[in-house]
Amino acid sequence: MAVSLYIDDDDDDDDYSHTYLYPASAAASQANREEVDSRSVFVGNVDYSCTPEEVQQHFQTCGTVNRVTIRTDKYGQPKGYAYVEFLEVEAVELALQLNESQLRGRQLKVTAKRTNVPGMKLYRARRPNPNMRSRSPFIPAPFVFSPYGYGKVPRFRMPMRYSPYF
């Protein structure tokens, strides 16, 4: 029984390692990743002082745990969620029954792990801010000298409230 427990301090957002995939191996790697993800569950709301051994002990009743990954930030502090990989696919259904179970006084959220598909992030365009000027190209003014000076525009006072005595 090969059980590997580790705390993963790599952050997907801050991962600077380079992996070069060739087209033939990319499909095989994606298939392997989907097969591993079908045997894994996501565990949310994990206590920050919880160890991988405690998470493994909690999911031991479901089946043989292959790997427990507790994600941490760049300072080594746990992010509050973990991934549990089993040896059998059938153990995932049993692990999903442990949803809303208690571990160290916290209610766990257990869901099936989804496979991350590269390039599926939705692009959200920025909304224009009405307070910002548009960055249109400079259009020169006609050759008329402004009485207010170069680049100056008349500023009008805000209209005052109605005053019957003026």
Close Cβ partners of 64 (under 8 Å, ≥ 6 residues apart): 1, 3, 86, 87, 88, 91
Asked if the model's pLDDT at residue 20 lies above 80, the reply is no
Of the chain, the end-to-end C-alpha distance in Å amounts to 95
Tokens representing 127 are 């909304």
CA 126 to CA 116: how far, in whole Å? 25
Confidence category of residue 3, pLDDT binned at 50, 70, 90: very low
Distance CA 111, CA 83 (A): 10
Mean pLDDT of 139-166: 63
Kindly list the structural domains of the chain, giving each domain's residue range(s) and its CATH number in brackets, ordered by start. 32-112 (3.30.70.330)
Whether the full predicted model's pTM is greater than 0.75, yes or no, is no
CA distances 122 to 9, 78, 130, 150, Å, are: 26, 27, 24, 45
Residue with tokens 């079908």: 38
Residue 154 has pLDDT above 80, yes or no: no
Q: Which of 165, 138, 164, 161 is nearest to 151 (CA)?
A: 138
Who contacts 97 (Cβ-Cβ below 8 Å, separation ≥6)?
A: none
